Structure 1
Amino acid sequence: MTISNKFNSSIFGVFLLLAMAVLGLTLKQAIVEYKLLDRSVTVKGLAENEYPADIVIWPIQFTAASNDLEALYVQLDTQSQQVVNFLKSNHLSGEEISLSTPRITDKLAQEYGGNEQSKFRYTALQTITVYSTNITLVRAMMPRLSELGKTGIAFSQADYDAQVEYIFSRLNEVKPQMIEESTTNARVIAEKFANDSKSQLGKIKKAAQGQFSISNRDKNNPHIKRIRVVSTIEYYLAD
């Protein structure tokens, strides 16, 4: 090999080493930048507010019994009209009141217990349902229903179907505000973490909104609803 070829080979080797060194620095810098971008913190922001329910469903149930089926239906009609008149006299409209078909039981015709002695052959359960947006009015009326009990109407509250139900139907109206609250609270937590770790809070890397939940404030105030949502947000961190 001539001196010229040796010189050219040496020059090529030097350039190759320099190129590899530059490439190594570039890769190292890329890895560092990637790690910096990969640093993140995940936080949860809670929003919880209370709102009054805007719909009440009040099933009013009463029972009756007789050995005469026709007389039983007459009794049901009479007592149902008493209940309806009571509701209307307390400013409920006819559109807010509905009557269901009475549930009649013939104890003699039952496949089981047919031989048991019973004072009455027929028993009936009648349900009158109040569906109203005037919750204050309906709640004030509930304890006064016992006035009709003095006339001989046997009201029943043991049945599960007789439980009063309060509904909050304006969830879509409050969603935007509550989502904003939960994301704001999440950012406050993330900023505190960043300050404590001597980092800077970056942009949002990933966000997930939890399901809205509606529950009663407590067992004594089912007409007040507690609305809750949790937002999970991941932020980038930088030094």
Structure 2
Amino acid sequence: MKNLRVEAIVLAVGLAILGVFLYCGLRSFSRQDRIVSVRGLAEKEVKADHVIWPIVFKTSSNDMQDLYRQLNSSNQVIKNWLQANGIPANEISVGAPQISDLRANQYSDLSNRDRFSLSCVTTVSSSQVDKVRSLIPRIGELLAKGVAIAGDEYSNQVQYDFTKLNAIKPQMIAEATKKAREAAEKFAKDSDSKIGKIKSATQGLFEIDDRDQYTPYIKNVRVVTSLNFYIEN
């Protein structure tokens, strides 16, 4: 009889402990099942710190040697003009010339045209964004020097880039995370709850776009952070 009483006490204690664990486990499960998903957006305007400026010149002739002379002369004029205006030689590169034989095209009307056409691109790749921007409107000065500059070519547009993204990443991620937490806290307040720990977090890709079509040298950087918070009573 005594042994049965001891066993009963042990069983009762065991069941009580099990009940406590089950209760705590169910509370934990219930608490972890309540989450809120929020997003935080961070945006920042920055100025481009690098520019690529293609300068295209075109000419034509019936004589290949004449084309060659024009090519060398025009390339030198362009290079001299750039260097005279503060662009160093190591920021200037000259591409291979493109030559077309117009008579090879059976649909060409050669009655008033030279046989050969030539185009060549001189490219400025520089971190002197403001200086290059000041030179672009002055490109007509090359026309006065006898260089036939071609403009508005889709494949040779001025390109502005922002290369210092890594320097602003931490600040922007922190800002996006802060805004996400603020959104979660507002949700919790409206539902008479409070925010717990972060369950999971996902950082979106950084996007860099022109602010608008008129100021491509001003960039808009944005990133979205997604957070899942536990909700507590």
Give the TM-score normalised by the residue count of structure 2.
Answer: 0.89
Structure-1 residue corresponding to 2:58 = 63
| 8 Å CA contact 1:107, 1:113 repeated in 2 | no
Structure-2 residue corresponding to 1:75 = 70
Structure-2 residue corresponding to 1:101 = 96
Partner amino acid, structure 2, of 1:102: P
Structure-1 residue corresponding to 2:122 = 128
| 8 Å CA contact 2:77, 2:145 repeated in 1 | no
The SS at the match of 1:59 is strand
Counterpart-to-counterpart distance in 2, 1:21 and 1:141: 85
**Aligned pair partner of 2:158 in 155, 164, 178:** 164
The SS at the match of 2:187 is helix
Could you tell me how far 1:101 is from its partner in structure 2?
1.2
Correspondences of 1:150-189 after superposition (within 5 Å): 150-189=144-183
Structure-1 residue corresponding to 2:47 = 52
Counterpart-to-counterpart distance in 1, 2:68 and 2:95: 13
Counterpart-to-counterpart distance in 1, 2:130 and 2:152: 24
The SS at the match of 2:104 is coil
The SS at the match of 1:143 is helix
Could you tell me how far 1:74 is from its partner in structure 2?
0.5
Structure-2 residue corresponding to 1:235 = 229
| 8 Å CA contact 2:61, 2:116 repeated in 1 | yes
Question: CA 1:92–1:21 in 2, change beyond 3 Å: closer, same or farther?
Answer: closer
Q: How many residues align?
A: 233
Give the RMSD, CA atoms, in angstroms: 2.6
Structure-2 residue corresponding to 1:209 = 203
Deviations 1:151-179 (A, max 9, x none): 33221123222100111111111111111
| 8 Å CA contact 1:59, 1:161 repeated in 2 | no
Give yes or no for the alignment of 1:91 onto 2:118. Answer: no
Counterpart-to-counterpart distance in 2, 1:224 and 1:81: 32
Structure-2 residue corresponding to 1:39 = 34
| 8 Å CA contact 1:49, 1:228 repeated in 2 | yes
Counterpart-to-counterpart distance in 1, 2:205 and 2:180: 16
Further displaced range: 158-167 or 170-179: 158-167
Structure-1 residue corresponding to 2:134 = 140
**Aligned pair partner of 2:113 in 105, 119, 128:** 119
**Aligned pair partner of 1:226 in 220, 228, 231:** 220
Could you tell me the percent identity over the aligned residues?
Answer: 41
Counterpart-to-counterpart distance in 1, 2:24 and 2:125: 68
Deviations 1:68-110 (A, max 9, x none): 1110110121111111111011011000111111100011234
Counterpart-to-counterpart distance in 1, 2:222 and 2:28: 39
Could you tell me how far 1:32 is from its partner in structure 2?
3.8
Could you tell me how far 1:25 is from its partner in structure 2?
7.8
Counterpart-to-counterpart distance in 2, 1:123 and 1:96: 27
5+ residue gaps, structure 1: 1-8
Partner amino acid, structure 1, of 2:216: P
Could you tell me how far 1:28 is from its partner in structure 2?
5.6
CA radius of gyration, larger in:
1
Question: CA 1:96–1:26 in 2, change beyond 3 Å: closer, same or farther?
Answer: closer
Could you tell me how far 1:115 is from its partner in structure 2?
7.0
